[in-house]
């Protein structure tokens, strides 16, 4: 089984003492790296590389405080 080459870059940000985290990710999918496999099977079309963009957020509703012994 053959898979395309994939590489990406991501970033997440959470301000100190905040409950909201924002995240962004960019992935480059190298579908053209599959041409060697498909050409061997008689596939004659072109495969173009693609980009994927992902955006996400996380909100923590319950903040647990660490247990303390005094």
Domain positions in the chain: 5-59
The conformation of residue 38, written as its DSSP 8-state character, comes to: H
User: What is the C-alpha to C-alpha distance for residues 56 and 13, in angstroms, rounded to an integer?
Assistant: 11
- The pLDDT of residue 25: 98
- 3-28 pLDDT, tens digit per residue, is 889 999 999 999 988 899 999 999 99
| H helix count then E strand count, the chain | 1, 3
Could you report the per-residue pLDDT of 23-65, keeping only the tens digit for each?
999 999 998 887 776 665 566 667 789 999 999 999 988 877 7
Distance CA 55, CA 24 (A): 5
pTM beyond cutoff 0.85: no
């Amino acid at each position: 089984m053959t898979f395309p080459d994939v590489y990406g870059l991501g970033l997440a940000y959470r301000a100190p003492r905040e409950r909201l985290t924002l995240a962004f990710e960019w992935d480059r999918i190298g579908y053209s790296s599959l041409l060697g496999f498909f050409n061997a099977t008689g596939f004659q079309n072109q495969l173009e590389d693609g980009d994927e963009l992902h955006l996400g957020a996380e909100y923590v509703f319950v903040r647990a405080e660490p247990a303390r012994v005094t």
